[in-house]
Amino acid sequence: MVEIELDGQKVEVAEGSMVMHAAEKAGTYIPHFCYHKKLSIAANCRMCLVDVEKAPKAMPACATPVAQGMVVHTKTDKAIKAQQSVMEFLLINHPLDCPICDQGGECQLQDLAVGYGGSSSHYEEEKRVVFQKNVGPLISMEEMSRCIHCTRCVRFGEEIAGDMELGMSNRGEHAEIETFLGETVDSELSGNMIDICPVGALTSKPFRYNARTWELSRRKSVSPHDSTGANLIVQVKNNRVMRVVPLENEAVNECWIADRDRFSYEALNSGDRLTSPMIKQDGQWLTVDWTTALEYVANGLKQIKANHGADSLGLLASPHSTVEELSLAATLMRGLGSDNIDHRLRHADFTAHTGARYLGMPIAALSTLKHALVVGSRLRKDHPLFAQRIRQATRRGAKVDVIGSDREFHGGNDWALPVRHFLNASADQWGALLANVAVAVAAEKGVQAPVTGTADAAAKAIATNLCAGTDAAILLGNAAAHHVDASALLSLANWIASHTGCKVGYLTEAANTVGAQLVKAQPQTGGQNAAQMLSGSCKAVVLLGCEPAADSAAGAAAVAALQQADMVVSLNAFKTNLDVADVLLPISPFTETSGTFVNAAGLAQSFHAVVKPLGETRPAWKVLRVLGNMLGLAGFEAESTADVLAQAVRRWIKPGQKIIVTNQDHETNIGVLSRLHADGARLLQALKLTPPQVADLAAFLRTLSAPGTSAKPSPSRSR
């Protein structure tokens, strides 16, 4: 540690830190533009000039390393005059168009100009004008004359997104930020460039000129789009979602969000929204009231149960549904006497397992891995924020190996991070490739291999790194989870982990895949799984937030099967399933309901509605609760999502076990959980990966050793 004096205060920071880091630790603000805590040091803007004793001139705080005994002043005349001179320089070419700038109210330049700008400028010549650029549908670069060349956007693309899509051409006054050869900005994290731009050069095209920042109400929420559970701030005006930006949470999403989290709000206000209950009569859709629609559904379920038995009823649920919705859905079906409920729409292997299949480590641990073996994942597209963390690990020397196919990997160009070994094979060969790694591990550890295989050079290299220690992990992606031999892949991964000390985890496909397992939204007593229900075995099917044609492995075959059912009920926020459903019930998206998601790491995060439901839309948990009451079932007395959550928690948390409650949660739900477990909460004890299953592994070995045969690849379809 190094001790320096900053404005008369003693501060201890790690050796190699900069003065800016010491100021942050001391709580002293130093004005800056180009510096960002997540990006490399550029020292472009010079706004952070400070007075360092014995230095001949003012020094940039972001690029000046600390030294023992250093004395730094940030408020002396020398420092302030240097900062004022820099501000005058930066304002030479920056147009004074704040009243029409979308960044107005959130602009660092505007804020610092108030404190450090002068009333006049020495510069009287004509200002520079930069020609507008079109870089795609999301980011507007029409006012690049405002750019101050801080290069935050350039560094973000290269260091965080992994693609250097923006760069700086020319020099001096003629320097411009632009794309290469007029290409567009296509990164799945591109919207973060808007957030980190300290001026109004980069703005949001969808949000542009729709509202001023001070008109917006800011409300916390959680992303429903993937298993990260990114924390969001949803900005609202007149009961309408206008913009979505990240809420910083270092343990989950840091200060970033994916573009689908940021820009998908446009669908919330589109004409595709379902706003009233509808019933199909003689091939025509009729708008009805809620009472009529729910009575139709309740009477239909009762009649079909009486005629064909409870086993003829089934429910398919999206794993993006909340814990509360899935819990009530499971209670509804089991109250009717059916165990036919499933959220695993894309799976091909439905082998029973204990515990919950989850990441097996905190999300932040992905950034500190030294080796990762990724099996069956389109990492960058499926989990953009996980990919970003692994990308940071590779910048610190981590090695990444991949077992997959060109469909997932696209020759390496689509991952935007260095991959050491890419074991390219069709899905039916993934088990054999992982078996090769197991054989190599067995040879290195001097133990009996559980499988037969060939320890080639790539397998040996992967095994060596996995044996290096606990900072290694085998990560099973969506395609591995959907694989026809998913249980065997997990068993092999667990065997490797047991002999190397590395971690094993599923990246998990949806916002609440882990939560769905915890509330038993899948068969428990021999009920039909998703594949069986989508084969046409059920007379009545309830679709909760899903579209089988697009969301299931069956694809078009699911449509044909559902068309044979006597009744299909679709609960969805959008006008979908029109070709298979008999009843459409409009339910609220995440912005119009409260609920809880359990992310890939087992972190339970609750959120509240940020706007009122659109039209006659109702939260799904309320629809299910009322339907349960109309059917006369027990367990449907809850008056709020907090009550439903408490009921769900009692099912999957046993005495002595705990649940994580993030500090971003709302007090109502924190209160419920704290009453159940006064010391707060950790779910990880309840979430244990399935141990190696001898029966599954033996069957898998027989498949591999059978001459002329191979496992079938997963039929999962691309979204």
pLDDT tens for residues 621-651? 999 999 999 999 998 998 888 888 878 776 5
pTM: 0.89
β-strands 9-13, 49-52 pairing: unpaired
Which of helix, strand or coil describes residue 20? helix
User: What is the reported pLDDT for 231?
Assistant: 94
pLDDT band at 225, cuts 50/70/90? Answer: very high
Kindly indicate the confidence band of residue 610, based on its pLDDT and cuts at 50, 70 and 90.
very high
For the ranges 172-181, 392-401, 677-686, the maximum mean pLDDT occurs at 392-401
> 473 and 497 in contact (C-beta within 8 Å)?
no
Residue 364: CB partners within 8 Å, gap ≥ 6? Answer: 250, 251, 389
| Predicted pLDDT at 640 | 87
DSSP state of 71: E
The span from the CA of 200 to the CA of 98, in Å, is 9
Task: Please tell me the distance from the alpha carbon of residue 716 to that of residue 139, in angstroms, as a whole number.
Answer: 33
Instruction: Spell out the alpha helix ranges (H) of 401-533.
Output: 406-409, 430-445, 457-466, 478-481, 486-500, 513-518, 530-532
Query: Does residue 74 surpass a pLDDT of 90?
Result: yes
Question: pLDDT digit string (tens) for 322-334?
Answer: 999 999 999 999 9
Contact between residue 492 and residue 697 where contact means Cβ atoms under 8 Å apart: yes
- pLDDT mean over 236-259: 94
Q: Is the pLDDT of residue 675 over 90?
A: no
Binned at pLDDT 50, 70 and 90, residue 578 comes out as very high
**How far, in whole angstroms, is CA 436 from its chain's centroid?**
32
Specify the 3-state DSSP secondary structure of 710: coil
**Contact between residue 659 and residue 653 where contact means Cβ atoms under 8 Å apart:** yes
User: What pLDDT is recorded for position 706?
Assistant: 42
Stretch 453-467: mean pLDDT: 91
**Structure confidence at residue 409 as a pLDDT band (50, 70, 90):** low
Averaged pLDDT score across all residues of the chain: 87
* Alpha-carbon span 553 to 538, nearest angstrom: 17
CA dihedral 149, 154, 155, 159 (to 10 degrees): 180
Q: Is 257 exposed, middle or buried (0-12, 13-18, 19+ CB in 10 A)?
A: buried
Lowest mean pLDDT: which of 129-138, 578-587, 621-630, 659-668?
659-668
Tokens 């997959």: give the residue. Answer: 404
Rounded distance between C-alpha atoms, residue 496 and residue 368, angstroms? 20
- Tell me the C-alpha distance between 662 and 655, whole Å: 20
Return the residue matching tokens 């000039």.
49
Q: What is the pLDDT of residue 408?
A: 53
Sign, CA dihedral 348-352-358-360, equals negative
φ, ψ of residue 665 in degrees (nearest 5): -70, 160
The C-alpha atoms of residue 560 and residue 571 are separated, in whole angstroms, by 19
